[in-house]
Amino acid sequence: MRIGEKIYQTSGLMFGTNSNTYCLNTREGLVFIDAGFSEKQYRIMREQQKRDRLAGKELLDLFITHCHFDHAGNGWLFQQEGAKICMTKEDGEAAGTGSCVLLENLFERKFRRYRPDCIVKDGDAFDYGNVRLTVLAHPGHTKGTISVLAEIKNKKVLFTGDLFTLRPCTPMDELQVEPGWNGSPDYDKDKETATLQRLMELPPLDMIAPGHGSIYLGDSRKLFEALCDAAERKLP
């Protein structure tokens, strides 16, 4: 479903799946953010691509925000179809070795291993003509978690994976935001705290697109302030 100029959401709650995946329709071809979890989710994504009239376009790159099963599980399917997988060294190694940080136990199935085609790090930029992407290292949730900043014309969109989830607003329309799950074997509280602080340094964003739940079109600064406050309350 088109959610912004050149930006499509291809799975998530509104399609009956747990995690969100996104597709950018660039001049060079299709670029994806996160792979989703199961073959069922992959089918849903492909059907949505058809409805969005994106079927048949070349699959270029897939950026995986982190290696947890619900975001990285379908990487092998994308790779099989010709997409180049872009991941950090840390989380890419996990996807290649079948490490416990993939959370196979939690998802009760075997992770199909794969090796990333492109190792990305903080500040790496990718130019697709009408879309420019920058990788931001945001570790904490996992060792190699990234966000992806997209610049499309004069708009800035941040794909944030599991840095946080938005909860329904209070009856008084107050934003409720929760820091990402902290149960991963490689979760690091200090890195998470530094990452949340780093979000405050970003320029104002036009859209924030997380890995679960709803996208956010409001004031990004307010969201990040609420997130830091929530994290302070949560993390002793």
Within positions 60 to 119, which residues make up the interface with Zn ion, using CB under 5 A?
68
Torsion of CA 7, 219, 232, 160, to 10 degrees: 10
Comparing CB distances to Zn ion, the nearer of 6 and 138 is 138
Here the tokens at position 103 are 């959370």
Would you call 53 helix, strand, or coil by DSSP?
Answer: coil
Nearer CB in complex with Zn ion: 13/217? 13
DSSP string, 64-121: -S--SHHHHTTHHHHHHTTPEEEE-HHHHHHHHHT-GGG-HHHHTS-------SEE--
Residue 51 CB, shortest distance to Zn ion, in Å, is 27
Among 34, 61, 93, 162, binds Zn ion (CB under 5 A): 162
Nearest approach in angstroms of CB 46 to Zn ion is 23
Query: Under the criterion CB under 5 A, does residue 186 sit at the interface with Zn ion?
Result: no
Contacts (CB under 5 A) with Zn ion, residues 10-69:
68
Q: Least Å distance between CB 66 and Zn ion?
A: 5
Provide, rounded to whole angstroms, the least separation between the CB of residue 168 and Zn ion: 21
- Enumerate long-range contacts of 217-222, CB under 8 Å, 24 or more apart: 218/175, 220/158, 222/175
Closer to Zn ion by CB, 32 or 128: give it: 32
* Residue count, binding to Zn ion (CB under 5 A): 2
Residue among 4 and 210 whose Cβ is closer to Zn ion: 210
CB burial of residue 27 (10 Å; 0-12, 13-18, 19+): exposed
Q: From the CB of 141, what's the least distance to Zn ion, in Å?
A: 6
Q: Which is nearer to Zn ion, 23 or 64 (CB)?
A: 64
Piece in contact with Zn ion (CB under 5 A), picked from 28-36, 51-59, 161-169, 192-200: 161-169
Q: How far is the CB of 64 from Zn ion (least distance, A)?
A: 11
Residues of this chain that bind Zn ion (CB under 5 A): 68, 162
